[in-house]
Amino acid sequence: MIGLRLPPTKLSFSGAVGAERLLLLGVRLMPRRPNRALARDLETDRLRLRSIGPLRLLWQIAPWHRDPELMEALRGHRGPMPLIKWLSSGGRPNNIHRFCYAIVPKGQSKPVGVIYMNLSWTDSSAATHMAISDPAWRGHQVSVEARSALLTLFFDNGVTVFTAEPRARNLGSIFVYKKLGFRVVGAVRFDPEEAEPDRIRFVMTREAWRERQARIAGTAPSQPAGPDR
Amino acid sequence: MTADPAELVARALDIQGSVSLEDDMSSLPAWTSLTHVRLILEIEAALGRTLTAEEIGSIDSVRAVAAVLAVAGVAT
């Protein structure tokens, strides 16, 4: 079923499925070293992307539970969210399958957001999520710039396709994926009882990304400086 | 109620100059994540209803806005 040869046995069909699941679980649980090629700092024109671990991530995102705009965009939760619920609602970076980067504008020390990159267990596909916590930096192409740098890094290190499924009303996130050239491949029905689908599914392949980057190389206008301080 | 798609985009993006049917996210620097939200709300106001997920996913150019408005019969 997955191209691996199981040892010859006389297992029943359900037994064979169970054996396959145990095998996949074993592969998933095998100790793996951190991926240093991906868990590293990057720089763009205006930003520093700093690879961070779980404790620093928790420290940075803890105050976000009070921001109703962030809670609506990230969790579909109206209004502020209880702190414990917020901190327990997301994955933690392990620098093996889940990576997290603090977004720090050059010339500043305080991050203005974080970006997550999650690899599938085969390391060939990935997904990305991010949030800009500082409202002064929203609408200044920070998401596009940060994601663009990380997409290039991940595509250059084995990932062949990125997927994304933002909520249909997360319009800022949808804009970023469209701006980056992600292709809409469908709408995802989150709740079968709902009349309208709740998410939009995007895809970007490594080939499409590299073609896009080659096309815009040398012709992109300079990035806006950022919010007036 | 009718709506010119280029005028609607110019109003949402707060562009004083002209916007053409050939313009899109790449050609209009004023088209940011914040103005994109405003644009979607302007389109929904022109249509008198909430956009579907498919319609939201399609909007990345003035021509795409025109297509959404034309389907609803409100494009000039």
Residue A196 in tokens? 């309208």
Contact B55, A196 (CB under 8 A): no
- How far off is chain B from A145, nearest CA to CA, in Å? 12
Share of residues in chain A with pLDDT > 90 (%): 34
SS (HEC) of A10-59: CCCHHHHHHHHHHHHHHHHHCCCCCCCCCCCCEECCCEEEEECCHHHHHH
Contact B68, B52 (CB under 8 A): no
Say if the Cβ atoms of A143 and B53 lie within 8 Å: no
For residue A30, the tally of other CB atoms under 10 A from its CB is: 7
Q: At which residue do the structure tokens 């064979």 appear?
A: A16
Residue A221 in tokens? 């206008």
Q: What backbone phi and psi angles, to 5 degrees, belong to A81?
A: -110, 145
Say if the Cβ atoms of A172 and B60 lie within 8 Å: no
Is some CB atom of chain A closer than 8 A to the CB atom of B17? no
pLDDT tens sequence across A187-223: 877 666 665 557 899 999 999 999 999 998 875 555 5
Indicate whether this complex's ipTM tops 0.85.
Answer: yes
pLDDT tens sequence across B11-44: 999 998 889 999 999 999 999 988 999 999 999 9
Contact B63, B19 (CB under 8 A): no
pLDDT tens sequence across A82-109: 777 777 776 788 898 899 999 999 999 9
Domains and CATH numbers, chain B: 5-71 (1.10.1200.10)
Residue A21 in tokens? 């699941």
Q: Which residue, among A143, A150, A199, A211, has the nearest Cα to A172 in the 3D structure?
A: A143
Non-local (6+) Cβ contacts of A126 within 8 A are A117, A118, A119, A120, A154, A159, A161, A162, A163
pLDDT tens sequence across A142-190: 999 999 999 999 999 989 999 998 888 889 889 999 999 999 999 877 6
Gap between the Cα atoms of A47 and A107, Å rounded = 9
pLDDT tens sequence across A12-58: 556 666 766 666 666 556 667 788 899 999 999 999 999 998 888 88
Instruction: Using CA coordinates, name the residue in chain B closest to A186.
Output: B54
